[in-house]
Copies of this chain bind each other. A is one copy, B any other.
Amino acid sequence: MSAAITLPVGVELCHLPARFPLVHGGELVGGCLAYERQGPADAPTVVVLGGISAGRHVSAHARVPQRGFWDGLVGDGLSIDTRRHQVLAFDWLGGAGSSTAPADGEAFPFVDAADQARALWHLVDSLRLDRLQAIVGSSYGGMVAQHVAAQQPARVRRLACIGAAHRSHPQASAWRKVQRDVVELGLRAGDGRAALALARALALTTYRTPGELRERFEAPPRVDAAGLHYPVHDWLAARSADFVQHWNAEQFLCLNRSIDAHRIEPRSIIVPTWLLAFVGDQLVPPSEVRELALQLPELRAHRELRSRFGHDGFLKEPVAVGAFLREVLS
């Protein structure tokens, strides 16, 4: 099913059915999923899904040597060992990668985490994989992974969710709503790029913890003719300027809405499940993950880790996440 057109090395394309209906209505027409594989094609497959900014490229490897989002965790001899597993990952529908997504200014249907999961099953079928050894998802990827497991439980041996619960939290949803409204204000005003940077800056403030920000941005403000300049503001400006190099407003809105809409019945997830929550996570408070844990029929382990990185613990706590992944795959 891979496309015959020329693509960057390591990227493969899977065409979705010509009309791919979406759970909240509407459909994708002629959609495709960009994906990447590492490890032996005949080894058990582990699907790895990260946050909205992550995609098909999980970690550096021989064919695609650029850094990924989980270098140090996925590779030969690492926690997800690519000598013993085939690792499969894809770009989000609607996101900033190479899967089907809105262009600048283009309307796009509402993509649910369940739609991402259905698209993944289509990819798994196209690769003629019978079942998944494991699906490991962090943040938005954890939400999608829950749907993957719920949709075809007989084909998933293990589910691991990091920093993800069974529903979005009203506090986080409130922050995301402000982000979307900012972007929409900017689009109306013809200043979508500045608005997108602002929305991303707000998102960044919710990914870490107050303690980490206090430690890093202790210094008093610089004063110049233009006023007071605070170190934390400089950080937000630099990071969000970087973001808008890679994303457009519509892609941001699409995945932001998709996170808010996430809601799954825990009892529908009958696959053996491992959970990891970060104490300090402002977006997915551990209390939410505890509630998920209590309702999961096949809970295998539920770990909580205190992290100064909060929600970003899935990216910034490789030692603890690595130990968790080894436990899942052992």
Footprint of B on A, CB under 8 Å? 24, 110, 169-171, 173-175, 177-178, 181-182, 185-186, 188-191, 194-195, 198, 201-202, 204-205, 209-211, 213-214, 216-218, 220-221, 227-228, 230-233, 236, 257, 260-261, 263, 282, 285, 287-288
A to B CB contacts below 8 Å, 17 in the list:
A170-B213, A170-B214, A170-B232, A171-B214, A177-B230, A178-B198, A178-B205, A181-B198, A181-B201, A185-B185, A185-B186, A189-B189, A189-B190, A210-B282, A214-B287, A214-B288, A228-B260
CB distance from A196 to the nearest CB of B (A): 11
Residues of B within 8 A of A198 (CB): 178, 181-182, 185
Residues of B within 8 A of A236 (CB): 174, 177-178
Which of A110, A171, A211, A218 has the largest number of chain B CB atoms within 10 A? A171
Count of chain copies: 2
Please report the C-alpha to C-alpha distance between residue A173 and residue B201 in the assembled complex, in whole angstroms.
Answer: 12
Please report the C-alpha to C-alpha distance between residue A182 and residue B179 in the assembled complex, in whole angstroms.
Answer: 10
CB distance from A292 to the nearest CB of B (A): 14
Please report the C-alpha to C-alpha distance between residue A214 and residue B290 in the assembled complex, in whole angstroms.
Answer: 14
Partner of A189, one of B171, B173, B188, B263: B188
Residues of B within 8 A of A189 (CB): 185-186, 188-191
Partner of A233, one of B24, B171, B173, B231: B173
Partner of A230, one of B173, B210, B233, B285: B173
Please report the C-alpha to C-alpha distance between residue A213 and residue B257 in the assembled complex, in whole angstroms.
Answer: 19
Whether the pair A230, B170 counts as a contact (CB closer than 8 A) is yes
Whether the pair B191, A178 counts as a contact (CB closer than 8 A) is no
Which of A209, A218, A232, A257 has the largest number of chain B CB atoms within 10 A? A232
Q: Which residue from chain B places its CB closest to the CB of A228 in the assembled complex?
A: B261
Whether the pair A205, B261 counts as a contact (CB closer than 8 A) is no
Whether the pair A232, B202 counts as a contact (CB closer than 8 A) is no
Whether the pair A174, B233 counts as a contact (CB closer than 8 A) is yes
CB distance from A189 to the nearest CB of B (A): 3
Q: Which residue from chain B places its CB closest to the CB of A209 in the assembled complex?
A: B171
Whether the pair A232, B173 counts as a contact (CB closer than 8 A) is yes
Q: Which residue from chain B places its CB closest to the CB of A199 in the assembled complex?
A: B178
Q: A-B pairs with the 7 shortest C-beta distances?
A: A189-B189, A170-B217, A170-B232, A171-B210, A170-B213, A174-B205, A178-B202
